[in-house]
Amino acid sequence: MRLNHVANRLAAAHFETVVALFREELNFVLLRRTERAVWLRQPGANVDLQFSRSDTAARDADKLRSQVSFLSDTPEAALMGLARWLQDRGIAATVGAYSDREFYLDAPEAFVDFVIEAMRPELAEYGIPV
């Protein structure tokens, strides 16, 4: 088997806005759309991201451990830019830190079971040939 995609849930009320965030700010392209879900890919990546609409009102208290993760030389600043983009569209968003090299963005009204993480590239240097 070969990894194809990872799926996360978005609050139905903010589904289109978060999809627009990924397309406009992170350059993801739309691969497929159904009534309940979209599949997106960032050029150069080989794993797709699926977002499904969710009517779940309760949020996972431990969702900080479930991330859609990105690499950035300036992870905190990158996430602050995404937070402002969401806030400008009426979605409350905050940036927090796991460490001085790993940060996360949460938009509790929109992200059901994950946060967006950004970390310094050296944290993904595993020494494993790809």
pTM above 0.85, yes or no: yes
Mean pLDDT of 40-51: 94
Query: Is residue 118 a contact partner of residue 76, using CB atoms and an 8 Å limit?
Result: yes
What is the DSSP track for 8-53? Answer: EEEEGGGHHHHHHHHHHHS--EEEEE-SSEEEEE-TT-SSEEEEEE
With respect to residue 108, please indicate whether it lies within any of the assigned structural domains: yes
Structure tokens at 116: 């967006």
Q: What is the CATH number of the domain that holds 9?
A: 3.10.180.10
Distance CA 46, CA 109 (A): 29
pLDDT band at 130 (very low <50, low <70, confident <90, very high): low
With respect to residue 82, please indicate whether it lies within any of the assigned structural domains: yes
With respect to residue 130, please indicate whether it lies within any of the assigned structural domains: no
Q: Tell me: the pLDDT tens digits for 79-97?
A: 999 999 999 999 999 999 9
With respect to residue 92, please indicate whether it lies within any of the assigned structural domains: yes
What is the residue range of 39's domain? 5-54+61-124
